Amino acid sequence: MIAKLQRKYALSEQGAKDLIIGCIACAVQNISLMFPVALLYTLVGDLMTGTVREHAAVYIAGSILCVGLIFLTTWFQYNATYFATYRESGVRRITLAEKLRRIPLSFFGERDLADLTSTIMADSTSLEQVFSHYVPEFAGAIVSTILVALGLFCFDWRMALACLWVLPVSFAIVWLSAKVQEGFSRKSMAAKLACADGIQECIESVRDLKSCNAEEKYLEGLTEKIRAVEHRAVISEFGTAVFVVSASLILKLGIATCALVGGILLIDGSLDVLTFFMYLLVVSRLYDPLQSALQNLAAIISMRTSIARMNEILDCPVQTGSDKLTNDGCDIVFDHVGFEYNSGETVLNDVSFTARQGEVTALVGPSGGGKTTVSRLAARFWDATRGKVSVGGMDITKADPEALLSLYSIVFQDVTLFDNTILENIRIGRKDASDDEVIAAAKLANCEEFAMKLPDGWNSNIGENGCTLSGGERQRISIARAFLKDAPIILLDEATASLDVENETLIQSALSRLICNKTVLVIAHRMRTVASADKIVVLKDGCVAESGTPAELMRAGGEFARMSALQTQSANWTI
């Protein structure tokens, strides 16, 4: 049962146990609210027989006992639902974040980042209300109603049927609307995500929109997305209300049938007045939690979409492997490697080459040829569809991804910086590094030139994603991280693309000092960047078109020679 609840509601094991306790607490609290009804029933009986004074002390004590019982059960219910739910909400967010940390990066290429953010934040927040209000109260209402129903049948089965026939009909109406409500929820969620994407895109591209005088046109489209969210919300609420209100109306018919059947039986003499009064009391109390239960059931159904989105993350397979690395050296070998996305699009086909330790291996070729994919496979950001990638003879799919990455220093083409100081941004490369070590790495990457111009030097805050720095300065911080980590394998994805000629020369000089006895894999588009590489692998259409030293490839007159000639021509172009 615990496992089923974990799966059904995206809960932890403790969260599933707390949910069961919360449901029991709600049922106990609902039953405790029936004790005043029982006390009133006996009071009316004594009023009819004139024995109230004889039992006055019992009624006073009973009233005090009812108040105390209701207080205790309500306190227990509050703790078992609200506090437990908020604890589970924290666990759920941490679990999702931890799972995202361990799944392959290919997952992020398939999912919208705004969608993932919405799942962790908005969906988790929505589920707080589901598990603090809807699920426990719904389960508690069902359990308490069943127990009360059994008692009603013990007194008079005819009156019990008159009171309870509406229950299965009402709940069936809401339950049978599940597919319709799920459809509303999915469309509403899609509209919200489209709106969130539009707002985020607008903020990120505001500079380009202004420069192209496209703000007004873009905002018109964004306005439509916002209106679509409002439209879907109205439709979703109305669609749910149609079923819930219809079910509530039928539920209220139970009072009428109880009074009608009770009146007929009373006139017929087969039912006494006191029992008739008791059924009227019970039915008036019984339907209140059930009416809330109908609304709770509709809310639970609508939350299936959010739960499914969470389970999609939790069910995603993770990359596993041994924490102990068994590599002998750091040669990177691609052995007949093929890779394709889940969509079936083939990116690499039968790629084989070796990047040897102590050498610089450059990956060049036309855009879309598979260069970046090769570097991602080398670091096991993704796993190859076919073939094998090994480091020092070790199949990287047998190694834990985090342990494997201890061998790599990586400089991405797209730099990500944090709203922190220059020192702390570089220290990401090795968290236990001293300030002197960080500064030494920064100087190797030629960061000193711009850092000393800032008000606080190395301790200057660079803003969100380094917004106060130029593209070249941001790239140099990224390169400094790689210097600081000082790993035996270096992956450079267009590492000098944002640098001017002077800084590019300085960085290449620093790289020459850094790469001694290391495996270096460089992705570059500018042929002069890789002119001194030990080996060049030309990738075209996902295949190795040719490989060899720069001199060998120039003499062969193949793809590399053609690209070099084209770049020479473009360098001589003038306005």
- Domains belonging to the chain, first-starting first, are 2-314 (1.20.1560.10), 332-571 (3.40.50.300)
Instruction: Decide if 530 contacts 362 (C-beta within 8 A).
Output: yes
End-to-end CA distance of the chain: 75
pLDDT of residue 57: 82
pLDDT of residue 396: 92
The pLDDT averaged over each successive group of 10 residues in the chain (575 residues) is 74 79 82 77 73 77 86 84 80 82 74 74 76 78 81 84 86 81 81 82 80 82 88 83 82 84 85 80 75 75 78 81 88 91 77 90 85 88 89 91 88 82 89 89 85 87 82 82 88 71 68 77 79 87 88 86 77 59
Instruction: Decide if 414 contacts 372 (C-beta within 8 A).
Output: no
pLDDT of residue 124: 76
pLDDT of residue 499: 63
Long-range pairs for 451-460: beta carbons < 8 A, 24 or more residues apart: 451/422, 454/422, 456/421, 458/421, 458/422, 458/423, 459/421, 459/422, 459/423, 460/421, 460/422
Instruction: Find where tokens 């850092």 sit.
Output: 451
Q: Is the dihedral of CA 571, 573, 574, 575 positive or negative?
A: negative
Instruction: Decide if 508 contacts 490 (C-beta within 8 A).
Output: no
**Burial (CB count within 10 angstroms: exposed 0-12, middle 13-18, buried 19+), residue 362:** buried
pLDDT of residue 194: 84
pLDDT of residue 563: 82
**Burial (CB count within 10 angstroms: exposed 0-12, middle 13-18, buried 19+), residue 146:** exposed
pLDDT of residue 472: 77
Residue 385 — φ and ψ, nearest 5°? -75, -40
Q: Which residues pair with 322 in a beta bridge?
A: 399
pLDDT of residue 343: 60
Using CA atoms, how far apart are residues 290 and 364, in angstroms rounded to an integer?
Answer: 68
pLDDT of residue 294: 76
